[in-house]
Amino acid sequence: MIHISDSDVYDVTIIGGGPAGLFSAFYSGLREMKTKIIEYHPFLGGKVNVYPEKIVWDIGAMPPLPGQQVVENMVEQGLTFDPKVVLNEEVVCIDKNETGLFIVKAASGNIHYSKTIIVAVGGGILNPKRLPLPNAIDFEETNLHYSVKNLKQFKNKRVLISGGGNSATDWAKELSGIAKEVYIACRSDFSCHESQITYLKNNSVVCFTQTQITELVANDAGDCIEKVAITNRESGVVQYIPIDDVIVNHGYDRDKSLLENSPLDIQISDNYFISGSSSSESSIPGLFAAGDILHHDGKLHLIAGAFQDAANAVNQAKLYLEPEATKTAMVSSHNEKLYKRNEKIVADLLNE
């Protein structure tokens, strides 16, 4: 048997450093649990990092903020109680040893030991779905984009967006006041919030439904897209639109290997998420889930829902370790460390 030092064992290891993972780390700190976060990317914040300028509205009692500010706030809160953070670490397998200790194996060869696990990987490692045209890759370094890092780069430009979900229509809405012309092409009908469709129709965005990009026409140098051919899937009519930039948002391909490679009998839903309870429990005692990776009948796929999942997961992990512990944590402001911070915040406000 391999000797495992107590210093190497954590009360809870959180796989994923997005909204659910960061709030899990904060809440486990409140509950005085020795905590580790393992994150695949070299940064924390999860998929919110993909939309740094997108305005986030769905976190209660917080004013709408751009994604980058939301990430900074979440990271600051998540690190309040100094959890161990491991970045650039891809978890490939979760198992248990003969003593019931969880063994978390990484692609690097590292092994992490934990008494409980919270899986908070969102939809798993996400890669944007590429435009399925043979020459699309030729323009990824110039004017074909799969994310929007800076809206100002599209000022006074002609932009075509491919996609019909909330992210694509959000970008169309934001760019309508910045770009010279905005077009949005959707393969079927829009699948976004009703208010988004109303906004697009009442503003200068030109909308095409049942339409897809069928050709990218390069400039004379061959390094930039000059025109885009869009084809109506019902009529077959083709239009060529002169553009300066193309933005593609067709969703993401999920890497499901973590759940596939783990020998534990984790119950999985039809769409390959962890089937659990509304209290964030999985089919494996001691293993919990939070955020988009968790599936149950009352699931809320909002950041606010991820926060609730996280608190539930931590509470269940605490009870798993200490059955006599209280079922929930105290109100955050009652924690001594946070209370002192609150005193400073109040004092600073009074001195303004």
Residue 337, annotated as binding a ligand:
no
Residue 252, annotated as binding a ligand:
no
**To the nearest whole number, what is the mean pLDDT of the chain?**
91
Residue pair 272/254 in contact by the 8 Å Cβ criterion: yes
Please provide residue 131's backbone torsions phi and psi, each rounded to the nearest 5 degrees.
Answer: -65, 125
- Domain 6-126+253-351 classification at class level: alpha beta
Q: Is the pTM of this model over 0.85?
A: no
Count Cβ atoms below 10 Å from residue 37 Cβ, excluding itself: 27
Is the pLDDT reported for residue 127 higher than 70? yes
Say yes or no: do domains 6-126+253-351 and 130-250 share a fold.
Answer: yes
Query: pLDDT of 12-29, one tens digit each?
Result: 999 999 999 999 999 999
Domains of the chain, by residue range, sit at 6-126+253-351, 130-250
Domain range 130-250, CATH architecture? 3-Layer(bba) Sandwich (3.50)
Which pLDDT does position 61 carry in this prediction? 84
Query: pLDDT of 182-235, one tens digit each?
Result: 999 999 988 887 888 888 888 889 999 999 999 999 999 999 999 999 999 999
Residue 327, annotated as binding a ligand:
no
CA-CA distances (angstroms) from residue 224 to 14, 93, 136, 181, 244? 42, 42, 10, 18, 8
Query: Given pLDDT bands bounded at 50, 70 and 90, which one contains residue 352?
Result: low
Residue 51, annotated as binding a ligand:
yes
**Rounded distance between C-alpha atoms, residue 138 and residue 147, angstroms:** 17
Minimum mean pLDDT range among 38-52, 235-249, 337-351: 337-351
Query: pLDDT of 67-116, one tens digit each?
Result: 899 999 999 999 999 999 999 999 999 999 999 999 999 999 999 999 99
Residue 321, annotated as binding a ligand:
no
**Rounded distance between C-alpha atoms, residue 39 and residue 106, angstroms:** 11
